[in-house]
Structure 1
Amino acid sequence: MAFVESKLFGIRTALGLQWSCGMAKQETEGLFEGEIGRAIEMIKPGNGVRIIGAAGSGKSTVIAELVTRLERFGHTPRVINALRTQRNIPLAAIDALELATRPGRTRVVHLANALSAQLAAQHQPVIMIDDIQYVDQHSLAVLEDVLRRTDCPLVTSAPASTPLGQDHLALLARRSEAVIRLHPLSDSETSSLARRTLGNPLTRAAAARLVSASEGNPKLVVRIVQAAVLAGQLSLNGKEWKMTSDSLSNEHMAGTLEEMQSELSPEQVVALLPKPDTAPTANPAGVRLTPREVELSALAGEMTNWEIAEYLEISVRTVENHISNALRKTGTTSRAVLCELVRKTAGRGR
């Protein structure tokens, strides 16, 4: 695979590979000062905080900055960065804390004892969980036991649109908490973030198109302009970046969309996907989908199979089968497109 040397990003970028998950600190510096300040004011007296927002809205950035600020103020953050790929692995989240336990003592009560003892020995400890929706059930049991024994504040991040499971809600209920919502960037903030990312401002027309495509989502702002430069859709004209085409969708956005698809709206995903040479021929209005296939297809663009299964209290295999059948019947290969087609058909009174 060919590599492109990019002084713009300061890295060697492999074309077609996914972008890194986080946003550079210098790109987002100053964007979340108000939210971070409110969170710290809640944590100081021992309250919990939940940071919520859409995919790419900056939740992980806020958590990371809170860790830095809390350490500066004398707190001891214990951080769990929960991963989607490990959400069904027992104790995966707790294992990340590398608790010191005796050989063979790996049951929930043993791990809760070890973590509680560590917190008691640390100065102003704070438990921090990024993406709490991905914490496995066994780790949730450990954490709930620890919160029952201690008065340690709990700081979490979670998506605004995806419902949390009962075990996750039970853990959050252990602490009074303030919910801090990350709102979309304003038009001026979007343009400013693009300028920090690229080093030069966008033209007025390019900035307007970026605002429309990103809907003020910080991660999308960064990824869209980076991908547009790689695809030749943005070109530096003097001191401004100018659009060279009518679209900001391209193949370099595929990794970002796959990463964020479960929390983006179908409209956002469809708008940012590369446009096919011909329109899809599938039309759900002429296809007989079962009521269950319609129900699950309408959720498929915004939620993963695991999240749908948890939300509807059915098995993941059942979800997989129904969505696979719907994709086959409609002749589509994209969950986002399937979701869009089903919703439009329902809106016409199918």
Structure 2
Amino acid sequence: MFDSEVQRILDFVARGIGVRVVGAPGSGKTSVVRSVMSNLEKTGVAVHYVTGLRTHRTIPYAAIKGLGLDLRPGRSGVFDIADVLTSQLATNGKHLLVVDDLHLVDSESLAVLEAVRRRSTCPMVATAPETWAFSKGQLAILNNGREAHLQLDPLHYEQVHMLIAQVLGAPADADTTARILTKSAGNPRLIVRIAETASLSNLLVMKDKQWGMTTNTLWNEHLRGTLESLLAELSAEEFTALHTMAILGTARVDVLQKVIEPDALEGLERRGFLSVMDDHHNGSIAAISPPVIADYFRGNKNLRDRKLLRRKIAGVLEAVPRAERENQTTADCLVRVLATLRLEKGDGDAVTARHFHDHSSDRERIRFERWEANKSAANAAALLRIYWGAPVDVHRAARVCRETTTFDADPKDVLFVTITRAMLAVHTGQGPGAAVDILQKFADDNPHHAAEAAHAITFLSASHGRVPVDTFTSALESKPSGMGGLVHGLLELYRFRPAAAYDAVDGQNDDDAFSHLRPFIRGFALFAAGRIEESLVFALDWRTEARKNLDQFGVVTSSYIGAHGLLYSGHFEEAEYLMSSVFAMGRPGFVVDALYDAMLRLAGLRHATTATPPALSIAAQARTEAPDVGPLPGIGKGAYELIAHNSAQPSTFDRKAAKLVRRQLKSGYVLEAMMTALLCTCLCPGRPVLDLLQKILRDNGVTVHDQLIGIATAVVEGDHQLLGLLLKHYEPDIDTYQVGMLLRGALKRHVIEGDTVAADAMAQASSMFAVRFPSANEQLSFNSFRTTPLTEREIEVAVLAGHRTNVEIAEHLGISARTVENHISNALRKTGATSRNGLFMLVGNSLPPRGAGIS
């Protein structure tokens, strides 16, 4: 889980630089340090390990004597022990001093370490809590010599998915992964313990090769010891403050300040047990972090029955006025929205997800009770609107659709309930046909709503089958308002007519029955038209507003647009966080769950190009019953399946990719076909797919990709002279990142096909382009067309094979020349490369850029 962090520490230590590793309790500090020690000991480094213990911090010399130093009788003072340890560090060979849990080391041991640090240049790796207020003695040890700082942040969704799979032996489904992430706030120790204890308690069971929840909770008594250890350092006031917050749930900060002492609140925030955020409704709000701590208090009977505390809180709540909603404005600035997104990463998406869950649950309960009291269409629409974005209670939603009375109801509410019933039929597996029948019956029974029902039928038919020909929507050419305009805009988006789609939804219409459909069409139309930066600013600003409004529907739809823009621009780290924050909320309502599955596939796309098969990819959590083609990129699973299971031969990939693109075109999903063709061309440029891409762009009058198409044509035709001219005169545009992908993909294709001359020319072109347009972003590309991944040693040998002999490689790696020869032979067989130089180009270009991932 911490490969990159371990490698960074190893790099620092190799240069004689010490490292301070900080993180919350349970963040993995000790695991990281132990991995570093294991790696160094394998290379002959002598590691001197000192650890602090909570029960030993008042015992003199307890930590330092754990080294087992050979002390002479009567010589056990600070400088005596320091002399012995310093002499050990001065012996031949490389040495490393490790101090784990520095904040728990006793004072006398700190004195010895300070003396040793003054006499020795041996680097030191130390771990400590991120918010710890260090004493003068602790700082004297840390601030001695060169030191790097490494922060261990909470894990995000994909990392949690992989960790659960390692702990339980199989991956968990999306809802389970999201729940564990939410409860643990991304804390590795808690993730492991929650997963282990839930499986022991039969709260998790294996379903279809994935772990799934059997109840709506993962709390169990086996977690109690883990939580008691986590809270052991709290004072009595801080412990009571946490109990108060557990009773209140997510609460406004001004409320907390009335029932909790300021020092206790400050202490909890400093220790990382308090998470503060803003929303439009309540101003600054706070919640317990990690949220599983609240379950600990609520699950303990002795702690639950504190009536005086509850009475005090109730009295304060009655006197607190409601905060007014703030008006927010947004600025059209890409740098700003990206900076905001990166800053958000430190807030903890798990706590935010818990806040969404609490808010949605409260709204759903209140609105259902209101509907039960009065089963009107207005009350039904208010409840069902929640299920469009937030997790859906299928039985409750079906009952509402079935029992709601429509007498004397607002036509918009009746239409909304009917459309929801139709979409629910699709969600529960009855199929689009059943949904169309529901709408058609409604139209027959309500002729005055026949037009709106027809638009809804068109939307469902186009989204779950094929887009009708233009004559089917000829009546919509006059740009109608309301439902007709939204459906028209969506169909134009499917057909890859972004300008027409944008025009169809231009302007504001507060009367939209489906309030998020208009901005969704507008934002994705900007992306489809090649206005990537505008699309990103629009989507990320919309997402920020949706998060503050606790609007899960808006968060999912805006994140889908933003993820496409970030991935297209090569901002993989930001895109992965954006999607991870959506996954942390769990599977959403039945209207946007298709976008949720699409983002799971998008998130798994990079892994799909580098692992065969991508067993632990989170894309496996997407519903497998999805069709191969879909109305928007990623909704159909065909493109992901094509890339994840790429063939050993580029020509076979060409054939399968061209077949998929033709299927997409036949269904009328031209936008999906264009994106599939563009991606496949960049990953493995070939004539069949490029011809289809050119035709799509030409037929729809799209010219923003002209430079990319010209370069791709020169690459496919092998016109290296023209390619050189095109790259020399290339002007940066929206496809700069895609051109880099294209050149790398062409290089690897030529290596696989054994065309050495073309591979050399492409390697030169790729290097020249990379020099002209340097980028720290990781390139998305096939590592190779292989059926078996290379081992770590085979990759090491392959990287050296281009410029060293077998004997030189053997001396460098400390192995025999015969072993090197075997590694090269295996690597050639696995990758399909035809020469040592080809193997070097193939594998060498697969490595991430130097420095990638280091902040």
Whether these two folds match at TM > 0.5 is yes
Please report how far the alpha carbon of residue 95 of structure 1 lies from its aligned counterpart in structure 2 after TM superposition: 0.6
Change over 3 Å in CA distance of 1:83–1:193 after alignment to 2: same
For 1:99, the equivalent position in structure 2 comes to: 69
Say if 1:76 and 1:123, in contact at 8 Å, map to a contact too.
yes
CA deviations on 1:18-45 (whole Å, 9 max, x unpaired) are: xxxxxxxxxxxxx111111111111112
Equivalent-residue separation in structure 1 for 2:316 and 2:70 (angstroms):
55
Please report how far the alpha carbon of residue 333 of structure 1 lies from its aligned counterpart in structure 2 after TM superposition: 5.1
Say if 2:81 and 2:112, in contact at 8 Å, map to a contact too.
yes
Aligned-pair identity (%):
35
The amino acid that maps onto 2:72 is R
TM-score under structure 1 normalisation?
A: 0.69
Please report how far the alpha carbon of residue 340 of structure 1 lies from its aligned counterpart in structure 2 after TM superposition: 12
Please report how far the alpha carbon of residue 246 of structure 1 lies from its aligned counterpart in structure 2 after TM superposition: 1.3
For 2:267, the equivalent position in structure 1 comes to: 299
Change over 3 Å in CA distance of 1:150–1:286 after alignment to 2: closer
Please report how far the alpha carbon of residue 161 of structure 1 lies from its aligned counterpart in structure 2 after TM superposition: 2.2
Q: Tell me the SS of whatever aligns to 2:27.
A: coil
Say if 2:20 and 2:147, in contact at 8 Å, map to a contact too.
yes
Q: Tell me the SS of whatever aligns to 2:6.
A: helix
Aligned with 2:162 (options 156, 180, 192)? 192
| Paired residues for 1:158-197 under 5 Å | 158-197=128-167
Change over 3 Å in CA distance of 1:171–1:251 after alignment to 2: same
Say if 1:112 and 1:145, in contact at 8 Å, map to a contact too.
yes
Change over 3 Å in CA distance of 1:183–1:167 after alignment to 2: same
For 1:154, the equivalent position in structure 2 comes to: 124
Aligned with 2:27 (options 45, 57, 65)? 57
Please report how far the alpha carbon of residue 245 of structure 1 lies from its aligned counterpart in structure 2 after TM superposition: 1.5
Q: Tell me the SS of whatever aligns to 2:126.
A: strand
Q: Which has the higher helix share?
A: 2
Aligned with 1:224 (options 179, 188, 194)? 194
Please report how far the alpha carbon of residue 188 of structure 1 lies from its aligned counterpart in structure 2 after TM superposition: 1.1
Say if 2:258 and 2:316, in contact at 8 Å, map to a contact too.
no
For 2:59, the equivalent position in structure 1 comes to: 89
Say if 1:187 and 1:211, in contact at 8 Å, map to a contact too.
yes
Q: Tell me the SS of whatever aligns to 2:90.
A: helix
Say if 2:52 and 2:100, in contact at 8 Å, map to a contact too.
yes
Please report how far the alpha carbon of residue 261 of structure 1 lies from its aligned counterpart in structure 2 after TM superposition: 2.4
Please report how far the alpha carbon of residue 296 of structure 1 lies from its aligned counterpart in structure 2 after TM superposition: 4.4
Please report how far the alpha carbon of residue 219 of structure 1 lies from its aligned counterpart in structure 2 after TM superposition: 1.2
For 1:32, the equivalent position in structure 2 comes to: 2
Please report how far the alpha carbon of residue 285 of structure 1 lies from its aligned counterpart in structure 2 after TM superposition: 9.4
User: How many residues of Structure 1 are paired with residues of Structure 2 in the alignment?
Assistant: 274
Please report how far the alpha carbon of residue 119 of structure 1 lies from its aligned counterpart in structure 2 after TM superposition: 1.3
Say if 2:100 and 2:127, in contact at 8 Å, map to a contact too.
yes
Change over 3 Å in CA distance of 1:170–1:224 after alignment to 2: same
Change over 3 Å in CA distance of 1:249–1:162 after alignment to 2: farther
Change over 3 Å in CA distance of 1:119–1:190 after alignment to 2: same
The amino acid that maps onto 2:103 is Q
CA deviations on 1:44-83 (whole Å, 9 max, x unpaired) are: 1211101111111111111111111112233211011221
Residue 236 (str. 1) matches residue 206 (str. 2): yes
Equivalent-residue separation in structure 2 for 1:119 and 1:183 (angstroms):
32
Change over 3 Å in CA distance of 1:149–1:225 after alignment to 2: same
Residue 116 (str. 1) matches residue 86 (str. 2): yes
Equivalent-residue separation in structure 2 for 1:61 and 1:340 (angstroms):
40
Q: Which has the higher contact order (CA 8 A, sep 6+)?
A: 1
Equivalent-residue separation in structure 2 for 1:78 and 1:120 (angstroms):
12
CA deviations on 1:234-274 (whole Å, 9 max, x unpaired) are: 122242222111111221111111222258998xx87xx9x
The amino acid that maps onto 1:299 is G
For 1:136, the equivalent position in structure 2 comes to: 106
Change over 3 Å in CA distance of 1:212–1:300 after alignment to 2: closer
Query: Highest Rg: 1 or 2?
Result: 2
Please report how far the alpha carbon of residue 346 of structure 1 lies from its aligned counterpart in structure 2 after TM superposition: 10
The amino acid that maps onto 1:226 is E
Q: Tell me the SS of whatever aligns to 2:99.
A: strand
The amino acid that maps onto 2:3 is E
| Paired residues for 1:5-20 under 5 Å | none
Equivalent-residue separation in structure 1 for 2:65 and 2:233 (angstroms):
27
Say if 1:159 and 1:263, in contact at 8 Å, map to a contact too.
no
The amino acid that maps onto 1:69 is N
Change over 3 Å in CA distance of 1:153–1:285 after alignment to 2: closer
For 1:127, the equivalent position in structure 2 comes to: 97
Change over 3 Å in CA distance of 1:344–1:128 after alignment to 2: farther
Aligned with 1:46 (options 16, 19, 32)? 16
Q: Which has the higher strand share?
A: 1
Structure 1 unaligned blocks of 5 or more: 1-30, 276-282, 304-331
Please report how far the alpha carbon of residue 301 of structure 1 lies from its aligned counterpart in structure 2 after TM superposition: 8.9
CA deviations on 1:121-162 (whole Å, 9 max, x unpaired) are: 242111101111111110010011011111111111111122
The amino acid that maps onto 2:90 is A
Change over 3 Å in CA distance of 1:131–1:239 after alignment to 2: same
Moved more, 212-221 or 257-266: 257-266
Q: Tell me the SS of whatever aligns to 1:121.
A: coil
For 1:327, the equivalent position in structure 2 comes to: none
Please report how far the alpha carbon of residue 295 of structure 1 lies from its aligned counterpart in structure 2 after TM superposition: 2.3
Aligned with 1:214 (options 170, 181, 184)? 184
Residue 67 (str. 1) matches residue 48 (str. 2): no
For 2:544, the equivalent position in structure 1 comes to: none
Please report how far the alpha carbon of residue 231 of structure 1 lies from its aligned counterpart in structure 2 after TM superposition: 2.1
Aligned with 1:245 (options 215, 225, 229)? 215
Say if 2:155 and 2:186, in contact at 8 Å, map to a contact too.
yes
The amino acid that maps onto 2:38 is T
The amino acid that maps onto 2:101 is D
Equivalent-residue separation in structure 2 for 1:235 and 1:247 (angstroms):
13
Say if 1:161 and 1:263, in contact at 8 Å, map to a contact too.
no
For the aligned residues, what is the CA RMSD?
3.7
Say if 2:71 and 2:81, in contact at 8 Å, map to a contact too.
yes
Equivalent-residue separation in structure 1 for 2:12 and 2:31 (angstroms):
18
Change over 3 Å in CA distance of 1:284–1:113 after alignment to 2: same
Q: Tell me the SS of whatever aligns to 1:129.
A: strand
The amino acid that maps onto 1:295 is D
The amino acid that maps onto 1:220 is L
Please report how far the alpha carbon of residue 90 of structure 1 lies from its aligned counterpart in structure 2 after TM superposition: 0.8
For 2:325, the equivalent position in structure 1 comes to: none
CA deviations on 1:304-328 (whole Å, 9 max, x unpaired) are: xxxxxxxxxxxxxxxxxxxxxxxxx
Equivalent-residue separation in structure 2 for 1:181 and 1:209 (angstroms):
25
